[in-house]
Structure 1
Amino acid sequence: MSDLNLLFRKRIGIPENEKITFDLLSNILVNTAMTFPFENLCIISNKTRSITKENLVTKMLVNQEGGLCYELNSILYFFLIENGFNATLASGVVYDHAKKGYQAIGRTHATILLTHEEQIYLVDTGFGANIPLKPVPLTGGTVISTNGEYRIKKEDTSFGDYVLEMKLKHKDTDWKVGYAFDTKDTTSDVSKLNNIQTIIAEHEESPFNKNPLITRLTDRGNLTLTNSSFTKWVDGIVTKEEIDNVRFKELASQYFGMDNT
């Protein structure tokens, strides 16, 4: 068993001898979502490294950090491949609900497409607190997980041929678009995601190069930390604390296990 496989299992609390079946993927996704923070601290501190298997292992499994979509889904992709799954990485464009349109920075979302018994599923652990905690079939069926409902619609757009839709628990009453993705634009080469990292780090309209952000799911909601506030969703109840830089470091360590902020 590879170092990546062992370290990934250890970090999310899966026994090293447990066979990872398709039916166990929901448990893997839940554990991953509640362990790995979605965070941009390397972008903010200008300490990014090229996207390679070795660098991902060091950052996320040895140093116990989190990452953005292209890091979180890449490390999960490698774990799935090493456990015998047929998976590939796909690109997408996130929908900006404030501007009522897809993000102008283009295809900067990386997700996973997994084929099981001739059926294709979307698997994503890199969409902040909006991640489906189960594989979502491209056939259009609704998947219900602890944080909401998800489905995929076949829709040809300028950004891909399918759209992920979601209805988040305690937040949404109607379906809303998460992102469009392209099943024709896939890769097994994570180095191709370096372009995404460059855009996220440098583009003036990137949502992740302005202020620090750390978020992850919990068993009852989610936590979101920025340089000015700490927000907790617990069973649909929101509490928000205004913070300073000292408090930011304390909370990053306490709730996200990040001690190098």
Structure 2
Amino acid sequence: MTGARDFQNSPRVFVVGGDPDVLAFVMEEVGACGIQVEGVTIDRTSTIDEASFDLVAFGAGVGFELRRELEARFRRLNPNTRFLRTYAPYAASQIVAAVRVQNPPQPVELDTYLNRIGYAGPLEPTIDTLRTLQERHLASIPFEAIDVLLGRGVDITPDAVDAKLIGNRRGGYCYEQNGLFKRVLQRIGFEVEPLVAAVRWGAQPGSAPPPRAHMALRVTIEGVPWLVDVGFGSSVPPAPLRLDTRHPQPTRYGQYRIIPLGGGLLVQAEVAGSWVPLYDLSNEQLLDTQFELFNWYASTHDRSHFRHQLIVARTTPEARYSLLDGRFSVRFADGRTERHFLDVRGIEQVIQNHFVLHPEPSWAGAFEVAAGRSALDQVPLRGGGLRS
């Protein structure tokens, strides 16, 4: 048996993949970077020599049971072996980064986050833990894009997100919310991959979908893939949804289902007896850095709706709260609904009382504009009725 190696000085890498040509391509790129690399395809794992490796990379096609079997085998030879799940288009870069990064970013401060969401339960990477963490996150950290509305932009680097959502007890939108939740789940030991989706919620029927830009997460637990999202505003799925079934899945706030759509998946919610699309989800994971362009557009471009509307949402076990400009809506878990049109003072009060945020003096101008739109919505139209 070979003892633990100095990972930085003499890293040895082993790759397990599905397609022999793709495996050869990945190994050639990794080897060209001066890294010792060996590998086999899935059908030849029984031929792996009894050798010690510093890093073992698994392709996406390596199933849960085989991966666990191989992890145990490699750990017997070297207890310090690290394991990495890769996706073929990025595999070489993921492996090289894992070998070369000497000062990785500091992980999220888990205890501080758990205190932020008021959770003190088990931290095993199980579906029960995931459900509870998602519920507590949605109830504690509101969805909001007030910085975008004020023209400040949004920084989605981990340090900036942690300082804002945890330290300053603010909310955020999808890149901040799901980016933070991804890092928390990874710290606990969950297998998490960021996915991208095209938002169809509220779109006109028959209209072309926008480019995929919404961030969501795929969490795999004992081989079962789950959709997890804590950053989709007032319509966010309130619990993990299985990605491997098209059957309706009940939640506290109605049923959801996920059906195949082209090369991806369509996430739908049941509304008044009809299935309404939320978003069109890609099956392909993205790198964290690839969301930077989407965030730049959403937080700075004039066509982003976040630049022109006050949007705040929060989902608790008791009710969903949503604020669109000065229109405040409450949907209770028992099915009751309320709707209110707010003035500036009313907006300030619900921001503090229902969205657990502390209004800053610099937000006053945005609240005035939002209240003005709310007043316009109540102006009677010709022939009666109100603007909707």
Q: Same fold judged by TM-score > 0.5? A: yes
Q: Which has the larger radius of gyration?
A: 2
Pairing of 1:98-109 with structure 2 (within 5 A): 98-101=203-206, 105-109=210-214
Which runs of 5 or more residues in structure 1 are unaligned? none
Match of 1:118 among 223, 242, 245: 223
Which one of the candidate residues 178, 183, 186 is aligned to 2:283? 183
Which runs of structure 1 show a deviation greater than 6 angstroms over 4 or more consecutive aligned residues?
none
Partner SS for 2:284: strand
1:69-103 per-position Cα deviation (integer Å, ceiling 9, x unaligned): 11111111000000001101111101144412567
- Structure-to-structure mapping, 1:4-15, within 5 angstroms: 4-15=109-120
**How many residue pairs get matched?**
253
What is the letter of the counterpart of residue 81 of structure 1? Q
Instruction: Specify which of 342, 346, 352 is matched with residue 253 of structure 1.
Output: 352
Out of 263, 266, 271, the position equivalent to 1:163 is 266
Q: Is 1:201–1:208's contact at 8 Å kept on the other side of the alignment?
A: yes
Partners in 1 of 2:159 and 2:338 — Cα distance?
39
Contact 1:105 1:206 in 2 (8 A): no
Higher relative contact order (CA 8 A, sep 6+): 1
Q: Does the residue aligned with 1:126 lie in a helix, a strand or coil?
A: coil
Unaligned runs of 5+ in 2: 1-105, 364-388
Question: Is residue 273 of structure 2 the alignment partner of residue 173 of structure 1?
Answer: yes
Q: 2:282 is paired with a residue of what secondary structure? A: strand
Q: CA deviation at 1:134?
A: 2.5
CA RMSD of aligned residues (A): 2.2
Question: What pairs up with 1:61-140 in 2 under 5 angstroms?
Answer: 61-101=166-206, 105-140=210-245
Distance 1:25 1:17 in 2: 10
CA contact (8 A) 1:4 1:61 kept: no
Q: Which has the higher strand share?
A: 1
Q: Secondary structure at the match of 2:138?
A: helix
Q: Does the aligned pair in 1 maintain the 2:123–2:188 contact within 8 Å?
A: no
Match of 2:328 among 208, 219, 230: 230
TM-score between both structures, scaled by the size of structure 1: 0.88
Which amino acid in the other structure matches residue 162 of structure 1? L
The answer to whether the Cα contact below 8 Å between 1:95 and 1:103 also exists between their aligned partners in 2 is no
Q: CA deviation at 1:216?
A: 0.8
Task: Look up the SS of the partner of 1:82 in the other structure.
Answer: helix
